[in-house]
Every structure is written in structure tokens, then in C-alpha cells.
Structure 1
Amino acid sequence: MKILIIEDDPKIRTYVGKALKEAGHVVDLAEDGESGLHLCMNEKYDVLIVDRMLPKLDGLSLIKTLRGSGNLTGVLILSALGDVDDRVAGLRSGGDDYLVKPFAFVELLARVEALGKRSSSLPLAQSTLLRAGDLEMDLLARKVRRNGKIIELQAREFRLLEYLVKFKGQLVTRTMLLEGVWDYHFDPQTSVIDVHISRLRKKLGDTGNTLIKTVRGAGYIIDESV
């Protein structure tokens, strides 16, 4: 994989970069948010490792800018801030995973590889536009329209809908959603998927559940005939 590390601590940046190269990956390094964002906008990466507290442009602002531009590269946030509220803020900014400093490299490597697998498991889009019936998603502008009407979605809702639409006409299991949208490799035993699906249906006006159909005990299917 090709990985970009955006980290202002030279010891961490050098150590992680060297270790990832030894593990067989191609690695680029950036020491501040501005240079990291420039690389992200001009190079293609499989995974980004982003420190939260960065000079010139902080990590969460960097991630929000990327997501706003349609960049969906998997992001692992590194931070010394480990409270629940800090982790939630990181994930809500568009991060896919969150690792608290200090960390074991073997765990970082496992998380990076999991993000890479998730990204590579998604079907390749032929363009930045996805369609399913009267629904249209513009991945570059981060816009969703149904019957020509713009639908405002939060970042996680957008990712959930994108995942479903990319597999339109196919069963998307709960496990696929947990791994592909939340990067959970275990069942959190919560109603997180049900809650987000319910909100998504409401925003899309899918009152009869005809666009996003539930397959009881299995998952969901996007019906593109709607």
C-alpha cells in the first residue's frame, strides 16, 4: 500500500515511516497539516495516518477538508487525546479509526492494513457519480439528490448511503456495513446501524422503505427500480 504519514513529531514520523517500509509499504511523510493536505490533493494514497495536533492546519480540519472535496481515503487518526469525546470528535470529522498515543506499532500496522483492505474491497467507481433509480450521489461535490432535490447528509450517513449504492441490487450484510462504514471488526452489540438506516430513510423520504429494503436477519438492499 501507499501510505502518507502526517505527523509533526520527528521521532514518531521517522519511526513509523521506517517500520511501515520494513513491512513492505510505500511511505510518504509530511510534518504539518498544510504540506500534508497538498500531498493528499496531488497524490493517490491507500491510507492516511494523521496526527490530530498539527502545525499550520490541525488534523481534524485537514480531514474535513479532504472529505468535503470528495476524498474518501481511509484515515487513521493519531492523538494523545484519548477521552471518549476526543475520539468521537475525530470520527465525526471524517476519520475512520482513532489510535491513542503511546501505541504499539503492531496495533497501528493492523489498523492500517484493515483500512487498506476495506478500501480495496469496495467496487471501483467508473465516475464520481453514483445512481440508483431516482437517487444520484456526486462523490466529488459530496451532494445527494433525489428527484432533483438536494438531500443534506452528515458524513457518516453519506458513507453509509455510498456503500449501499455501490452494491445496489446486492445484499449488503450488517457485517459488511460494520467493517466498510464503521471499520468495526466485531459486533458492538448496539443499534448503530439501525439508527443510521432509520435517519437515512427519513432524510431520503423513503417512508415505505422501498429504496433501502431490509432483508430480515441479513442486511439491506438498495432497490434501483424505485
Structure 2
Amino acid sequence: MKGKRILIIEDDQRIAQTISKGLKEKEFETEIAYDGKIGSKYAVSGEFDLILLDLNLPEMNGYQVASLVREKDQETPILMLTALGETEDKIEGFERGADDYLVKPFDFRELLVRIQALLKRSKVAMEKENHKIQVADLIVDFDAKLVFRDEKSIQLTPKEFGLLEFLIKNHDRVVSKAEIAEAIWDQNASQSLNVIEVYINFLRKKIDKDFEPKLIHTKSGMGYVLRAE
């Protein structure tokens, strides 16, 4: 999540600064607004990957800010922070466009987990909408059947593309040879074991050999995983 920009709309300066400091230590970029009016102007700019939004704000409350943001932006995740933990308050927050709700006081570790989950969910949704997935500098365009690594076009056979498509759609998850065999060769792993290994080597030569970081990793006894390490 390095480099992601987070807008903190919180009128309690101590809380806002504490959150900002913690997020910066995790390599996020942050901006703070101390009232709803200024926060809403920042929020609709489209420059942020996530909005942390307090409910009780001067000038304009969190419900109003969320509604205004959602009129212009349906994608940016909104995480509401509030001392109000009643069900009715949460329901209204969600109805106004919040994606998640965290009741004060909270542990920063829980806030961080919520933020990471929302950013990951947002990234997956965007990938599905664009029909592309990027891991490190590898980009796979499923509609055009194109593959790029470090902006260089990589030519793959249909079977190689199918294997790469399966790996990148499951990126960061170890997939077994049995899963690959069923998805790509429509047969069991015992029949396809050698073939899978051959095609994994084909892919490595094309998308890993001349590039860093290496993306296709073997997990002994488990299978393969595509991720930047």
C-alpha cells in the first residue's frame, strides 16, 4: 500500500495528528482537514485513495460530507470514525455512502487492518472494471490478450497466456498443481504434472528471466504463487 494517499477529516487535532503520524510510518501519504467544509473540498478532488471521515464535524457533519462525496465519486472508500456506535448511526452512515465504520476509541492496529482491507477491495474492483491486473511492473490486459513487463510487450502462446491469467488472477495466493491442471488443462494433476512444470518454466523465461523482481515463485510441496517479493 506504499504511496497511497489518505484524507483524514477529523476536528480533534490530537487524534488527527496521531493517525497521520501512524499512517506515515506505514508509508502512506496523508492530508488533514479539521472541518467538514474544507474536508469535502479535498474529498471531491479525486486525489485520494481513501477517506477517513469523522462524524461530528464543524461546518458540515460526516453524513453531509459522505453524501456530497458520493454525488461525485462512487469509488473512493470512506471509513467513518465516530464515538456514536448505535445501530441507527451505522445504518445512516452506510446509507450516505460509507464503506466501513469504526467506533472510537479504537486501536490503531484495527484501523490499519480496516484501511488495508478497503484499499485491497477497491483495487480488486478497479481491476475487474478495467479488465487488467498489474503486479509490480507486469500488466495483463485480458480483453486485448496483451502482456507487458516494464512497459515491454511480452509475446505468449494461448496456453502460456491462460496459465499467466490464472496465476495473476490469484496473485499473492499459492495455487496447487491440481488447481492449475483443472483450470488450464481440464485434467488432474497426475496427468499434467510435467506439462505444468514445463509451462511454468516457459513463463519464467519470458516474464522473469530478464526482469526484477522475480514474480513466479515455487512453494515446495504446495504449488506456485505470483507475487512481488
| TM-score bracket for the superposition, by shorter chain length | 0.5 to 0.7
What is the distance in 2 between the residues matched to 1:118 and 1:45?
15
1:113 aligns with 2:134: no
Q: CA deviation at 1:43?
A: 4.1
Total equivalences in the alignment: 126
Structure 2 residue corresponding to 1:81, chosen from 67, 77, 84: 84
Q: CA separation in 2, counterparts of 1:116 and 1:123?
A: 11
Say whether the 8 Å CA contact 2:5–2:49 is kept in structure 1. yes
Following the alignment from structure 1 to structure 2, what is the Cα–Cα distance between the partners of residues 123 and 61? 26
2:75 matches 1:72: yes
Match of residue 49 from structure 1: 52
Q: Is residue 17 of structure 1 aligned with residue 20 of structure 2?
A: yes
Matched position secondary structure for 2:47 = coil
**Counterpart in the other structure of 1:34:** 37
* Cα distance in structure 2, aligned partners of 1:95 and 1:42: 17
Deviations 1:172-194 (A, max 9, x none): xxxxxxxxxxxxxxxxxxxxxxx
CA distance in 1, matches of 2:103, 2:55: 10
Residues 150-169 of structure 1: pairs in structure 2 closer than 5 A: none
Give how far 1:64 is off: 0.6
**1:113 shift after superposition:** 0.7
Higher relative contact order (CA 8 A, sep 6+): 1
Cα distance in 1, alignment partners of residues 65 and 86 from structure 2: 21
The question of 1:101 aligning with 2:104 is answered yes
Q: Residue 7 of structure 1 corresponds to which residue in structure 2?
A: 10
| Matches of 2:74 and 2:57, distance apart in 1 | 20
Give the TM-score of the pair, scaled to structure 1.
0.54
Q: CA separation in 2, counterparts of 1:74 and 1:19?
A: 19
Q: CA RMSD in A?
A: 1.3
SS of the aligned residue for 2:44 comes to helix
CA distance in 2 between partners of 1:80 and 1:41 (Å):
25
Residues in 1 aligned to 2:117 and 2:80: alpha-carbon distance in whole angstroms: 14
TM normalised by structure 2 equals 0.53
Gaps of 5+ in 1: 127-226
2:101 match: secondary structure: strand
User: What letter is aligned with 1:99?
Assistant: L
CA distance in 1, matches of 2:81, 2:73: 22
The alpha-carbon deviation at position 79 of structure 1 amounts to: 0.4
- Matched-pair contact (CA < 8 Å) for 1:66–1:72: no
SS of equivalent to 1:82: coil
Relative to total residues, which structure has the larger helix share, 1 or 2? 2
Contact 1:8 1:54 in 2 (8 A): yes
Structure 2 SS opposite 1:123: helix
Say whether the 8 Å CA contact 1:6–1:49 is kept in structure 2. Answer: yes
**Structure index of larger Rg:** 2
Distance 1:92 1:46 in 2: 21
Percent identity, please: 39
Return 5+ residue gaps in structure 2 as ranges: 131-229
